[in-house]
Amino acid sequence: MKKFITLLALLTAIVLTASCSGGGTVSQNSGDATIKIGYVPLPIFAPLFVADAKGYFTDAGLEVDLQVVKSGKDAVPLAATGKLDAAMIGFSAGMFNAINSGLDVKVVGSMGVADGDTKKPASELIVSKKLRDSGKLTKVADLKGRKIGALGGAGATSAFYTGMALEQAGLSIKDVTFTPLDNPDIEAGIRSGAIDGAFVSAPFWNKAVDDGVAAKLWTTPKGTSGTGVVFGSRFADSTQAQKFFDALAKGAADLQGDQRYSAENLKIIGDATEQTPEQVKSVPLYTWYPDLHPLPDQLAGMERMWMELGALDYDTPLPADKYVDSRYSGNVDAK
């Protein structure tokens, strides 16, 4: 169980993927070259696991080398230099800073998206139950001046989601102070008063609420995604890129609706994340667009918020085509 919790602690985040195990050689992407894919073994990347387990990459004539990576910022330079061809990542301020500095990578697709379930969401903004019961923190607007726990801190996706909630309430992301905390430490932080609330993934928000320490406050809107697929420039221009994306989208198509909880898919996800099918099913799963299309408007919103917060090294927004390429998902639609 401890191993299960530690693994799931990486989920909201929003800084996913970093230094690649083993390093590897630069992929040339000619004909039969192996495609190197960096990923974190988390259910949010289920389309990759399903496509691999069901042979969709092989059917497309591709050989893939799935390489487990750690959280973060190093995934972008690895993809930019060809040490990875593609990576499943969580979006962060670090990604935008890296692209602004000249590293040539593109966000080509989305991964897990919120399904709009307000009762059992995959992630949730929670607050101290003590403060809520006292009447001091009953709505998002009451967060002004409060301390909010966030995996990855101010430059990570969890901070962006909190910023979304704040803006809906007429506030700004600058109206709270973010405290970097790992997901398993969120409940203790709220209990001690070190933080007043947090944006956190299941099963951590569920546990804090069930334990009577926290109360739900806000859920990410349907269609919101903090993770996606990044291609390095060498791979993006190869003949294999569209084939890989098509196979990945085929995996996503197998996860639509209740099918994501099918016995076959639960076993595949469990095997890939070192969990039992029962453990996978016990935590609400994200959903995935069938074509895995990227979300440029949301990415621009992330950049804007992180710029406002001072988490970026530049102060003029990048043009969308600098960091987004929708041609691969567009071709999936055309099939």
Joined tokens for residue 222? 């349907």
Reported as a single tens digit per residue, the pLDDT across 250-289 is 999 999 999 999 999 999 999 999 999 999 999 999 999 9
Q: Classify the C-alpha dihedral 265-72-103-314 as positive or negative.
A: positive
Q: How many CA atoms lie within 13 A of 57 on its CB side?
A: 22
Give the span between the Cα atoms of 219 and 6, in whole angstroms. Answer: 23
Q: In degrees, to the nearest 5, what angle opens at C-alpha 250 toward C-alphas 244 and 251?
A: 95
Contact 101, 312 (CB under 8 A): no
pLDDT tens, 200-229? 998 899 999 999 999 999 999 999 999 999
Q: What are phi and psi of 64, to 5 degrees?
A: -115, 145
State the burial class of residue 210 (Cβ atoms within 10 Å of its Cβ: 0-12, 13-18, 19+): exposed
Cis ω before 47 (30° cut-off from 0): no
Tens digit of each residue's pLDDT (9 = 90 or more) over 115-170: 999 899 999 999 999 999 999 999 999 999 999 999 889 999 999 999 999 999 99
Supply the pLDDT for residue 133.
Answer: 98
Which domains, from first to last, does the chain contain?
2-113+225-334 (3.40.190.10), 123-218 (3.40.190.10)
Q: What is the pLDDT of residue 333?
A: 67
- How confident is the model over 1-42, as pLDDT tens digits? 444 444 444 443 333 333 333 333 334 444 458 999 999 888
Q: Identify the pLDDT of residue 72.
A: 57
